[in-house]
Structures are given as structure tokens and as C-alpha cells.
Copies of this chain bind each other. A is one copy, B any other.
């Protein structure tokens, strides 16, 4: 029997470690002959665009520390299982390659693919196992204490915020710095950006989660008070904060504003808060959008994150082969914070697909010291440990993008 593995959704620093874990788990497993990789997720099956990972074992170590996705990604949502055509096509190709199990690494949408494929195969008595392995920097997957990829993004954010805070306080004039953080519907990454504060520092003074409605007036009042008290005010806010009407803050639908090309003006929330502060307070203000750098900074990867990402991949292969699992997603259950102990678990993927795990309501009041301690205790072990970046003789990071072998022009 052969198995196949794919990556899907947005990239992270840890998803290649999971890929390496699955591939190594597969290669070592006596039940398994070959481990295939699909290029660009489920697209790779549909286009028969497969690679034999057994040939790349000597490159796994570097690949596991390379950001982004070594097999490429896709954003495809499968139709309902009643629309047989696409499923039949997938099955025909899997059969051709004697595939007995699919491992799909991804977030909510990818778990939907796992759910549908496994349902289709069960419905038609096809003996192909389908197993989901989690990945998302957003940490918003149900059924897991946290997700591989979150720890490294969280570590990047709390380090970078320390540095931005140093950078923000140098002038004697009152000023506000707004930092926009990824996470459209959940504030896990924004909490990580607030870590300097949760470790007992003054800054960032304001943490804005997308789970709560954003009130302009309240925000401006808080800014004015803090400017007097601290002179420099640092704000971290989720890209997805919404106003009282549930509309994303910073959207132009109400204002009718247009950019220089005449398009509707869709600023990020950082730029929106910058404009708001400029207009209403008039002090010096700067906004920073950390953008994709927060999901690809492998040089600041968390050792805990990469280790767990590889382990969950290996365990997913071991357990699914031993127990014949299908339609499940693997995840973590936290046994204890101190010492940090984690258990790998699995459950029905239907419990995760298409749901989002939000920051719990008890954590909304980030001014409360008990809340601060709980957040700190939750995040601290996940960002622990440095990973050394292997460098080439010229000093550049030695990253391993497997697909450069298949698409010669993506990287030289």
C-alpha cells in the first residue's frame, strides 16, 4: 500500500515540519511502500501532479525548517459528496497509484476536504483512509489546544513587538503606534502580539480582539488618557475588528472614498485607526501592518512548535495505520502548563471542519491581571526554544523549497 500527503490553505513556518513527519512516518512504517506528495493540494491529485517523497529523504531536515509549503498549496472547496464526478476522478487516480491513505495538512477549509473525501469513500465502501493534520497560524481550529504554526507566529509577534516598542519611545513628543495583526475572526495572534504586556510591561497598552465590537469613542478616550500617562501608546489590533454594526472597521462602503485608481478604498484596519487618530486626536501616529512576515519568519521559529509539528505528523501515520482511522483530525490536548506537557489526540474531523475556535470571553478583559497570567501561561510554552537557521557559505539562509524541482522558475 502507498500513501499520499498534501498541504493546503495559507503557509506557516511549521507546515513543512509536519510534512517531513508524515513522510518519515510513512517511509518507516512496514505497512507502507511509497509516500507520494500532491503538488498544490487536492489539485495535485486531480492533475496527477504527484512526486515520490521517498527520493527526497536527505532533504527533509532542511525542508522541516523552511517556511511556506514545500509541495505548494491550493484553495479548493470540494462540492457536496452527491456531486460524484470530481470524487470519482480523485478515486480513479488514487487507485492507479495504489493509495490506501491520504494525509491532508491544513486549517478549517482543508478539514472540510478531509471530511467530504472520507464521507464519500465510506459511502461507496472504498477502503481509502482520509486523515487531517492541523496547521494554521491563526490557532482557530476546534478540537486542539493549539495548532502547529501558531507557536512560531506567536514567537515572531512577541519578539517583534518588543523591538517595535523599543523603536516607538525615542522621541519626546506624544505618539501612538498601531500594529495590525493577522487573524480575521479570532484574536489568538493579537494576544501573542500583546505578550510584552502580559509579561508585566506597560506596552502594548491596548489590545483589540476581533471577538468584541470595536467602539471608536471608547478607543479614542483610552488613547487620550494613555498619551497623558505614558506619552507613547502602542496598540495591537486584529485585522478583522468590526464596528458596532458588524462591518469590518476601515471599510469604505459607508464613506464612498476611493483610492487614486478610483477603486473603493479598502484600507487595512491599521491605516484606518491611524486616520481616525490623526483626525480626532491629531498627535503623531504610525501604523504598521506586519503582513505575511508574521507567517514566514522561519529564523524566529519556535523549537516547541517545529518539534510538535513533526511529531503530530509522525503520530498521525502511526495511529491511523495501527487503528485504521479515517475521517479524523489529529490535535493536541494540554496535560499541564508547568511543566509543559502535551498529548496527541484525534477525533472526528466533522467537529473541526468549518468551525472557528475563538478567544474565550473570559480573556476579553486584558487589563485584568488574572487574565494576563492565564494568557501568559497558555502562550509561553508554545513559543519556547530557538531553532538555528542553517546558512549557506555566503551567509544566506539555507531553505529547501521542494517544488523548485518541479517548477524550475519558482526558485533558482
Instruction: Please list the residues of chain A having a beta carbon within 8 angstroms of any beta carbon in chain B.
Output: 11, 40, 43, 66-69, 72-75, 158-160, 162-167, 169-172, 195-196, 199-203, 229-232, 250, 252, 254-255, 257-263, 265, 267, 271-272, 275-276, 278-279, 286, 288-293, 295-300, 376, 380, 383-384, 394-397, 399, 401, 403, 407, 409-412
Contact = CB atoms under 8 A, between A and B. Distances in A.
A276 B255 contact: no
A292 B293 CA distance: 13
Nearest to A288: B291
A36 to B, nearest CB: 18
A202 B409 contact: yes
A276 to B, nearest CB: 7
A238 to B, nearest CB: 18
10 contacts: A40-B171, A162-B396, A162-B399, A163-B397, A201-B411, A202-B410, A252-B260, A258-B258, A260-B267, A263-B275
Closest CB pairs A-B (n = 7): A68-B166, A167-B296, A255-B260, A73-B170, A163-B296, A169-B410, A230-B409
What copy number does this chain have within its complex? 2
Nearest to A299: B159
A314 to B, nearest CB: 23
Contact of A171 (B74, B262, B396): B74
B384 A395 contact: yes
B170 A11 contact: yes
Contacts of A401: 166, 169
Contacts of A165: 411
A376 B396 CA distance: 12
Contact of A412 (B68, B202, B231, B407): B202
B395 A166 contact: no
Contact of A72 (B158, B170, B300): B170
Given A202-B411, A411-B202, A172 B67 contact: no
Contact of A66 (B166, B262, B290): B166
A162 B11 CA distance: 15
Given A257-B260, A260-B275, 15 more contacts: A67-B163, A72-B169, A74-B172, A162-B399, A164-B292, A201-B412, A202-B411, A230-B409, A255-B261, A260-B272, A261-B275, A261-B279, A263-B278, A299-B299, A380-B394
Given A68-B166, A291-B288, A259 B231 contact: no
Contacts of A73: 170-171
A383 B259 CA distance: 38
A290 B293 contact: yes
Given A261-B275, A380-B394, A288 B299 contact: no
A159 B296 CA distance: 11
Contact of A67 (B75, B167, B298, B299): B167
B403 A169 contact: yes
B411 A169 contact: yes
